Structure 1
Amino acid sequence: MPWSEAMAPVRMRRVAVVVPRTALRDALVRIAEEGCVELDRAEESAPGAAGARLQRVRGRGSGAENAAPAVLAAAAPDLDLLERRGDAALLAGEAQLEERVAAAVRKGEVAALAGWCPAAEVPRITRRLAEVGGALLPLPSPRGTDPPTQLRPHRTASFTPLVTTYGTPAYADLDPSWPAGLTYVAMFGIMFGDVGHGALLLLGALALRLGRPRRMARLGRLWPFLAGAGVASMLAGAAYGEFFGPTGLLPVLWLSPTAEPARLLAAAVVLGAGLLALAHAAGAVNRVREGGWGAGLYAASGGAGLLFYLGLASAAGALVVHRTALAMAGAALAAAGLALVAAGLYRATTGGGGGLAETAVRLFDIVVRAGTSTLSFARLAAFGLTHAALAGLVWRGTTALAGRGGAAVAGAGLLFVVGTAVTFALEALVAGVQALRLEFYELFSRLFGAEGRPFRPWRVPRAESADPAAKVVPCSPG
């Protein structure tokens, strides 16, 4: 698969489900079982026969019965019998089916519904509908309406919640799931750099993979995410020479955070500048895909913003190493980018003096934010230093107690275990939150401009399955 497709959401097709009116229920049952088509629904209306019965059953039923997942029977059931039995699951499935039937357009002996389907799934759904004399016909996309967004189920699917928690990307945008995940675990590792602590994270990932503990089995799909964080922490810890603190068991391969904090700080800021430049570049691609080359060129999160930031970063770096000519070239590049941003901002105003004032204020904000966002990555060094300092404090206390001999050795062991547990829990929480903050507020805010709509296929299994979820066939990545 070309990278341009791998980095984009699943390609969607606007489709029409066309079936004989007598086969409408059979067709809808098959669509619900496949779980790959999002059907348009009628506007809010009063519940149908199944919906009304479902409300009565839920009003008098227990919480466990009401929480049962919806299922569908292959043939139309007796709704009165379902109500007497209190079968909330079948009634819920029938209520959902009623909503889709109400949205169908009927003409003569034919019924039709419109919706969205992943392009790769169209042949399979077409074959299922052909069993009841129906068809799935491609339609042109409605003008002014974007298709729903379904992110691709990469092998790094545990990274996808990073993106969806922030928001749903527009259909035209890039899917940054795996780059965002790798960036997150790298930033986490820098702040949580310790080979011993990283190994504990790996053990936690293995436990999740094996479904232990059972009460956390639902988090099992996140094990690659936790394993990546553990590996990143171990690599950073090897660079720092940290193994449950500065125990001396590992040599310092790069630097010791407590011995060279300024160098670590500079490296964090440089890394942050690189990540921001990549976010600007991806944002420029998104602006072009969303609104064309004009919008992509003048947007502050598009080509103009990228030009400004690259020029600003080049000028700042050149001044640090005393390269005057390179600094002047960078400043000229930044000025050109800022002029393009100003042109784009002014075009969006009502013009006149008010437009100029608004443009000036927003330009000032963009310049200040560029600097503060870059410096914000200094927290990678700050929290990495804090983690190393706390681990070092625990280790010094442990060795000081152990040196007294006798019962103090047992106290030293207890101090090491408790201190390590507290440091691990506290710093893991801090590093996780701070890496998320940098991901969302510094990177994603430049990457995403428009909000998309998530793809929500209609998925209801058949009641005949002992394990209803086993019948559900996941949609193809496209």
Structure 2
Amino acid sequence: MLRAEAAVPVRMRRVAIVAPEQALRESLVRIAESGCVEVDLAGEDGPEVRGPAMTRLQRLRAESAHPVLSEAPPDLDVLEREGRTDLLAGEAELEERLGSAVRHGAVAALAGWCPERQMGSTAARIAGAGGALVPLRAPRGVDPPSLLAGADTASPAYTARPVRRSFTPLVTTYGTVPYADLDPTMAAGIIYVVMFGLMFGDAGHGLLLVVLALLLRAGRPRRLTALHPLWPFVAGAGLAATVAGVAYGEFFGPTGVLPVLWLEPLEEPMRLLAVAVGLGAVLLAGAYTAGIVNRWREGGPASALYATTGIAGAALYLGLAVGAGSVWLGLVAYGVLGAVIAVVGLVLAGTGLYATTAGGPGGAVQTGIQLFDAVVRIGSNVVSFARLAAFGLTHAALGAIVWDGTTALVGRGPVGVVAALLVFVVGNAVAFSLEALVAGVQALRLEFYELFSRLFEGEGRPFKPWHLPVQHVGGAAAAGPPAPEETVRSGPASKESS
């Protein structure tokens, strides 16, 4: 069962890093090593402040190096002579944060954000250096940064279950989820693979995707190692396509290997179309529900009531859906009920939209245009899900063409058999590649434009913890290149699964 906190971004706390002046450097080194705190920088929009390390780094005019921090204060002149741009870059970042500290007597402090669950371990880490992590009240009008439970951050402090981690790019590609909003990662991933399966419904092609996912999990081929975290996502899409293919009776086309358990797409296109549009209607209803929750969390009851992605929009959608159902069923009473609900939705939405205008006749015209657009958009969004059926039919048609060409060549002697085998393999390869691309893009389009556009009205700010590896060496040795037995160690003492 999903935990309640998994439905929202990671809970953040406003914190202050407080330490005696002489212990501030070591405290910040431990903060960088833990990778759990986003540290506020003073004058981020002002001119660049050049410390001694940055000055030496710029004199070297070397290519950008991956910053590394030395546990002990290094000799910057030695680092410059030896070309240690990695340690100089790390010291430059440290200087920037030391310069951002607020000082009062012998005590210095910096503000920032830290995930609530990481506060205990982070506080214990810097306590050993003489520092403290103090919780603060969040400033008014400032939203905390957002971190999804499955986000892939630079810090090893955040690990997620493989499935959640593989689904997260679906959301982060669209934008940063506002801190107050719901985290739709798991729902978005499941919906995506279902829609992909309906369009890519072939058991043979789906099993090929599952094999590809297993190869990614094993780190093969090596050139695709960066895609390793996505293997559960690919496996889910392959399983969905396999299930749909079993339902359609498709195994590398209509080969007859599998019986038709539900419907044959090319024989019952209207039934498939009705299912696709019906599924779209259900998904839109779910998107409106999540949108109401988000508007309430963002701006309270009024925002949820009057927004076109809140109660007002949901009422308009429900009214139009009931009206369409009355036409389908031939029940006039349902048509009247749908009209009443739709009018209520229009009034609420119009009130909210008019309040955002300058008022007067111009505001009324603008509101009317926006309401008309909202009505048309609802209809077009529902119909847009017909592409689930359309591309499912396209996949089935390509499979049928390849299979017909294969069977036509089989009875023409040995040459015909070879030609048939070639047509079958090449044809399925082309169909697999083309339809995988098309189904993947179309499922993404439906998720972004039809669903996410109702969930989110704004964008949040991503959580960017300060994280650098730390070179643990002693005294003056920190200034020179590490000996063969020395290692660079980074990361927190323990990792917490989100």
TM > 0.5 fold call? yes
Asked whether 1:40 is paired with 2:40, we answer yes
Is the contact between residue 118 and residue 475 of structure 1 (CA under 8 Å) also seen in structure 2? no
Question: Cα RMSD between the aligned structures?
Answer: 1.6
TM-score, length basis structure 1: 0.96
Pairwise CA distance, 1:474: 8.0
Question: More deviation in 306-315 or 26-35?
Answer: 306-315
Is the contact between residue 470 and residue 489 of structure 2 (CA under 8 Å) also seen in structure 1? no
Pairwise CA distance, 1:151: 0.4
Distance 1:28 1:101, change over 3 A: same
Instruction: String of CA shifts for 1:284-331, please: whole Å, max 9, x gaps.
Output: 100000000011110000111111112211221231122222232122
Amino acid at match of 2:376: V
* SS, match of residue 249 in structure 1: coil
Match of 1:382 in 2: 390
Match of 1:237 in 2: 245
The whole-number CA distance in structure 2 between the counterparts of 1:317 and 1:476 is 49
Is the contact between residue 34 and residue 490 of structure 2 (CA under 8 Å) also seen in structure 1? no
- Within 5 Å, which residues of 2 pair with 1:361-440? 361-440=369-448
Distance 1:474 1:42, change over 3 A: farther
Match of 2:491 in 1: 471
Question: More deviation in 456-465 or 407-416?
Answer: 456-465
Distance 1:148 1:187, change over 3 A: same
Is the contact between residue 265 and residue 272 of structure 2 (CA under 8 Å) also seen in structure 1? yes
Identity %: 60
* SS, match of residue 111 in structure 2: strand
Selected match of 2:124 from 111, 124, 127: 127
Is the contact between residue 35 and residue 473 of structure 1 (CA under 8 Å) also seen in structure 2? no
The whole-number CA distance in structure 1 between the counterparts of 2:38 and 2:246 is 49
The whole-number CA distance in structure 2 between the counterparts of 1:355 and 1:47 is 51
Is the contact between residue 248 and residue 264 of structure 2 (CA under 8 Å) also seen in structure 1? yes
The whole-number CA distance in structure 2 between the counterparts of 1:313 and 1:164 is 31
Instruction: String of CA shifts for 1:157-197, please: whole Å, max 9, x gaps.
Output: 11111111100011000000010011111111110000000
Match of 1:28 in 2: 28
* SS, match of residue 406 in structure 1: helix
Match of 1:112 in 2: 109
Match of 2:216 in 1: 208
* SS, match of residue 413 in structure 2: coil
The whole-number CA distance in structure 1 between the counterparts of 2:177 and 2:422 is 49
Distance 1:469 1:231, change over 3 A: farther
Distance 1:151 1:298, change over 3 A: same
Asked whether 1:99 is paired with 2:107, we answer no
Match of 2:341 in 1: 333
Match of 2:59 in 1: 56
Is the contact between residue 17 and residue 137 of structure 1 (CA under 8 Å) also seen in structure 2? yes
Question: More deviation in 4-13 or 29-38?
Answer: 4-13
Selected match of 2:135 from 134, 138, 155: 138
TM-score, length basis structure 2: 0.92
Across the two proteins, how many residue pairs are aligned to each other? 472
The whole-number CA distance in structure 1 between the counterparts of 2:311 and 2:449 is 20
Selected match of 2:450 from 442, 459, 472: 442
Asked whether 1:76 is paired with 2:73, we answer yes
Distance 1:126 1:268, change over 3 A: same
Pairwise CA distance, 1:469: 7.0
Instruction: String of CA shifts for 1:68-101, please: whole Å, max 9, x gaps.
Output: 4211111011111111111111111111111111
The whole-number CA distance in structure 2 between the counterparts of 1:392 and 1:225 is 28
Is the contact between residue 35 and residue 491 of structure 2 (CA under 8 Å) also seen in structure 1? no
The whole-number CA distance in structure 2 between the counterparts of 1:405 and 1:121 is 71
Pairwise CA distance, 1:467: 6.7
Instruction: String of CA shifts for 1:121-159, please: whole Å, max 9, x gaps.
Output: 111111111112211111111111000000012522111
The whole-number CA distance in structure 1 between the counterparts of 2:371 and 2:353 is 8
In structure 1, runs of 5+ residues without a counterpart are none
Match of 1:19 in 2: 19
Instruction: String of CA shifts for 1:99-135, please: whole Å, max 9, x gaps.
Output: 1111101111101000000011111111111112211
The whole-number CA distance in structure 2 between the counterparts of 1:136 and 1:218 is 35
The whole-number CA distance in structure 2 between the counterparts of 1:280 and 1:368 is 16
Distance 1:3 1:363, change over 3 A: farther
The whole-number CA distance in structure 2 between the counterparts of 1:80 and 1:421 is 60
Pairwise CA distance, 1:346: 1.1
Match of 2:330 in 1: 322
Amino acid at match of 1:417: V
Is the contact between residue 57 and residue 88 of structure 2 (CA under 8 Å) also seen in structure 1? yes
The whole-number CA distance in structure 2 between the counterparts of 1:327 and 1:21 is 73
In structure 2, runs of 5+ residues without a counterpart are 151-159, 474-485
Is the contact between residue 461 and residue 472 of structure 1 (CA under 8 Å) also seen in structure 2? no
Amino acid at match of 1:127: A
Instruction: String of CA shifts for 1:420-457, please: whole Å, max 9, x gaps.
Output: 11100000000001111111111101100121000000
The whole-number CA distance in structure 2 between the counterparts of 1:471 and 1:332 is 59
Instruction: String of CA shifts for 1:189-246, please: whole Å, max 9, x gaps.
Output: 1100000000000000000000000111111000000000000001111111100000
Is the contact between residue 401 and residue 408 of structure 1 (CA under 8 Å) also seen in structure 2? yes
Question: More deviation in 286-295 or 467-476?
Answer: 467-476
Is the contact between residue 36 and residue 121 of structure 1 (CA under 8 Å) also seen in structure 2? yes
